[in-house]
Structure 1
Amino acid sequence: MGATVDWLRTTTPGLLVLCGLAIAVLLFAIIKVKLEPFIALLLTGLALALAAGLPVSKIVGTAIKAGDSILETGFGGILGHIAVIIGLGTVLGAILERSGGADVLTGKLLNLFGEKGAPVAMGLLGLIFGIPVFFDIGIFVLAPLIYVAAKRGGRSLVLYAMPMLAGLSMTHAFLPPHPGPVALGGLLGVSLGWLILMGFVCGIPGFIAAGIVWGSYIGKRIHVEVPDEFLVRKDEETEPAPDEGERVSDGSGGVATKTVTATPPSVGLIGAIIAIPLVLILGATFGTQLLDKNSQLLQVLTFFGTPAVALLIAVLIAFYVLGVRRGSTVQELSELTAESLRPVGMLLLVVGAGAFFGKVISATGIGTALADTMSAAGLPVIVLAYIISCGLRIAQGSATVAIVTTGGIVAPLVIDHGYSQMSIALIAMAIAAGSIILSHVNDGGFWIIAKFFNMTVKQTLQTWTVLETVLSVVSFAVAAILFAIVS
């Protein structure tokens, strides 16, 4: 027994077996036992640390001091990096949603592209509105607009829904301030500016292939009608009784009230608010590359391009131009902020627990063992990252869990190995691409899409599941080719 334990703790094959067993237990707890991912990640991480023989003082600290423990540094390190960004990003999305920005963008895009180009317009709507808004919230907000466009066009709901879903999925997986990319920035030590750049470079080709090409192809072959009750609900939401306010999606499938304003915000204003944090962050990234490190301009760009500061500026501007200037009180904006932040708590706990699990893997030496095995097999790190992320996504369904777990496993292979920021960002894109592949019945998003777009399970597999796979494969292919060129 002692020899077996020593083999597991000290040899490369043994450490790899431990890692495999830990991931298997994690997936069993999430999939079969239906344990909350936060609890499952925490339990599995603690069990792996004990099984690998790490000292208790290193795992949880002591009764007097625990600040240097793996438990606290694993959670605290990543949450310190992402909590403010995700919180501000969520608030920004909420004020854009509540202001009617989605309706404005939809009308502008439909007028620009015309009836025949409506599916492309829906794709761009998902792409633009998906930057500040979480995936499921984006579906809740945009679905009624898709119903109207499909009814007016007299064609399948699938033809209009797939491009929009591709846009939402691409931004959710590849672009900050969404949780996965932000978490990867902290786990892999890469700036959000590089993640934004590579997210667009890798994600846009995938969006075109999955949303526009595949969406147009399958939308002409699977016909799904828009149920009358879907349109009735839309009418109810957009035509409120006098003095009762407008009923809108509250992000949970229900409705909430908002103050009716005389004129909707302009599309230029909505686009500018969405662009503000992206431009500021990219300004700091390019400034770091082009300016002297002691330059005063670089200091200014770095301060305003810090993701938390950039998002805070965008939120304050949105509060004023979309809130106060349009009749909302500070109290109403505070209530909106509190309402939008309620779902964020569990998300942050899952990301923190995933980072702790990755920290345990690093501390046990499994990462080094994995690196040695990978080198012996000649497998590039970007391919390994994609394969691990794909496996976790297919097995347990959550893209966020797949990203943070893979990021923790791959981090030891990336950090301190001399990769450039661009190369690390491309590895992050490979992880993001793997996290969305083959969405099926264990993915909550699968059932949301089936419900909101009136599809059977078979139709959802034929449309949405294939779309996610095309988006994943094409985006990874772009990342892998670029990685081979620059590394």
Structure 2
Amino acid sequence: MVLAAPSVLAPPPPPPHTGGLLALVPGTPGLLTVAALGVALLLFLIVKVRLQPFVALLAVSVAVGLGAGLSVTELFGTVQKSDATSLIESGMGGILGHVAVIIGLGTMLGAILEVSGGAEVLSGRLMGLFGERRAPLAMGLTGLLFGIPVFFDVGVFVLAPIVYAVAKRSGKSVLLLCMPLLAGLSMTHAFLPPHPGPVAAAGLLGVELGWVVLMGVVCGVPAVLAAWGYAAWIGRRVFVPVPQDMAEAAEEARAAVVAEQRAAGPAPAGKPAPGAAAREEPVALGTVLAVIGTPLLLILGATFSSVALKPSTPRSVVEFLGHPFVALTIGLLMAYYLLGIRRGWSRRSLETVSTASLKPVGNIILVVGAGGVFGAVLKGSGVADALSATFQDVGLPVVLLAWLVSVVLRVAQGSATVAIVTTAGIVLPLVEGHGLSQPHLALVIMAISAGSIFASHVNDGGFWIVAKYFGISERDTLKSWTVLESVLSVTGFAVAALVSLAV
């Protein structure tokens, strides 16, 4: 665990800006005031005004920059833009250049897996392997594996009908089956690439994704095991029947999806339409696991090639194939062929599914980009240095501090992505220039990610998705889902803190 820097370190000098709105408050106190007011304004705009987080982050970034003394030119650049790069442009472009491609490729990969019926194959095989008595474990493993390439809410929408069917057949509480599933989906969404949170934090802190994947597994697996334990306990004490209206709606939606797939374009001669292919010819389990696992293994291989291999042509090949852009492209092409073309999908169907999948991620990419702007303004204005010096004087380890800041932002405004990108911007000056290793920085990201899922409640969209989709009352959702998320958060952070002592 990173200990606070010695107190003999002098605080950074005030930035050379003199036109700030709080220029009458000198040095570090003024900058800390700007930071505190900036975070308070961000929370107010998101929570009370209900302003879109992308707009709120941009507005707060500008306000913090002006309050700290940055000039309009430094924030926005000049009209010609030939003599200076604005902080807004550099912050937005710097993070999105790394994140946008990964999120886009990962999203398309998840969409092909979803539409092809990969989730049904996973859950069906696992149910057959573990039997009905261990159905909660089968559902948990389904969420864990299927959650790697797909967003949390998509996983809920796709897998909920399976929960309904198993609960109706077995007579068990919906909670007993859905909570392990949700734990797996939530853990992968918070801790593992290519999900936006850990990818954005890795881009802001300059951490290789291979280390994020490894530490995500190290911290996430114990967290999800602890969450499964709580899910088994609460699922046996609170009975929730199958929500009949949602079950019927899910069947109607499934039929509509199949019809839409068939209408997307004619299948090749002699082959079934895409929707029929997903129904009549289930995907092989090995194919699903290969499509999910290949990109992750390639990224991990590239990360550790510098340790296992000397500079050589084989090492260059491994590093090329394991670059996140290349690895995810390979995974997507595998999905196109193995789950699509080989099973009768037309090129038009593949294009339709891929294009449709990108529409919901626009908001996520913009929020991540605005988080990059916020971090750039904090750094360029001197606020980040002031925060760094103050936090070091407090004496808290950076892993603990990262988790606490992320928890506060998460509980206050509800969005995990906003909590992650904002916390990463605040924590960045604490890790810069201290010679922290890549594994240690990855553990800081795990602490941030763990904090971002703490205590999901009524200001979080995920809370209402869980409550309404599984027919759980608000009170029981707080007792089950909110506590489940807190167990994931605390356990994941505890593992990250313990591992950081040895890294």
Using the size of structure 1 for normalisation, the TM-score is: 0.94
- Cα distance in 1, alignment partners of residues 126 and 350 from structure 2: 28
2:71 matched to 1:65?
no
Partner of 2:4: none
Q: For residue 14 of structure 1, report the CA deviation from its aligned partner.
A: 2.1
User: Deviation string for 1:369-401 (max 9, x for gaps)?
Assistant: 222222222111111111110000000000000
User: Deviation string for 1:246-305 (max 9, x for gaps)?
Assistant: 89xxxxxxxxx952113111111101100010010000011022222x321121111110
**CA distance change for structure 1 residues 140 and 51 in 2, over 3 Å: closer, same or farther?**
same
**CA distance change for structure 1 residues 245 and 4 in 2, over 3 Å: closer, same or farther?**
closer
- Cα distance in 1, alignment partners of residues 322 and 259 from structure 2: 42
Secondary structure of 2:276's aligned partner: coil
1:302-341 to 2 correspondences below 5 Å: 302-341=319-358
Amino acid at match of 2:306: T
Structure 1: segments with no counterpart, 5+ residues: 248-256
Partner of 1:277: 295
Q: Which structure has more RCO (C-alpha within 8 Å, separation ≥ 6)?
A: 2
**CA distance change for structure 1 residues 34 and 283 in 2, over 3 Å: closer, same or farther?**
same
**CA distance change for structure 1 residues 240 and 85 in 2, over 3 Å: closer, same or farther?**
closer
1:158 and 1:215 in contact (8 A); partners too: yes
Counterpart selection for 1:445 from 450, 453, 462? 462
Partner of 1:267: 285
Partner of 2:472: 455
2:240 and 2:472 in contact (8 A); partners too: yes
Amino acid at match of 2:296: L
Alignment root-mean-square deviation, CA: 2.1
**CA distance change for structure 1 residues 241 and 29 in 2, over 3 Å: closer, same or farther?**
closer
Amino acid at match of 1:299: S
User: Deviation string for 1:200-239 (max 9, x for gaps)?
Assistant: 10011110111x1000000011100003333434555667
- Cα distance in 2, alignment partners of residues 197 and 175 from structure 1: 9
Amino acid at match of 1:346: N
2:222 and 2:492 in contact (8 A); partners too: yes
Amino acid at match of 2:98: H
Partner of 2:229: 213
Aligned length: 474
- Cα distance in 1, alignment partners of residues 108 and 29 from structure 2: 47
Q: For residue 7 of structure 1, report the CA deviation from its aligned partner.
A: 5.1
- Cα distance in 2, alignment partners of residues 433 and 451 from structure 1: 25
Partner of 2:387: 370
2:224 matched to 1:199?
no
1:80-479 to 2 correspondences below 5 Å: 80-210=97-227, 212-236=228-252, 258-261=274-277, 262-292=280-310, 294-479=311-496
Secondary structure of 2:23's aligned partner: helix
Q: For residue 151 of structure 1, report the CA deviation from its aligned partner.
A: 1.3
2:83 matched to 1:56?
no
Q: For residue 140 of structure 1, report the CA deviation from its aligned partner.
A: 0.3
Amino acid at match of 1:62: T
- Cα distance in 1, alignment partners of residues 161 and 148 from structure 2: 19
Using the size of structure 2 for normalisation, the TM-score is: 0.91
Partner of 1:37: 53
- Cα distance in 1, alignment partners of residues 233 and 366 from structure 2: 40
- Cα distance in 1, alignment partners of residues 484 and 92 from structure 2: 34
1:189 and 1:415 in contact (8 A); partners too: no
- Cα distance in 1, alignment partners of residues 152 and 62 from structure 2: 31
**CA distance change for structure 1 residues 21 and 295 in 2, over 3 Å: closer, same or farther?**
same
Secondary structure of 1:35's aligned partner: coil
**CA distance change for structure 1 residues 451 and 121 in 2, over 3 Å: closer, same or farther?**
same
1:324 and 1:330 in contact (8 A); partners too: yes
Name the % identity. 55
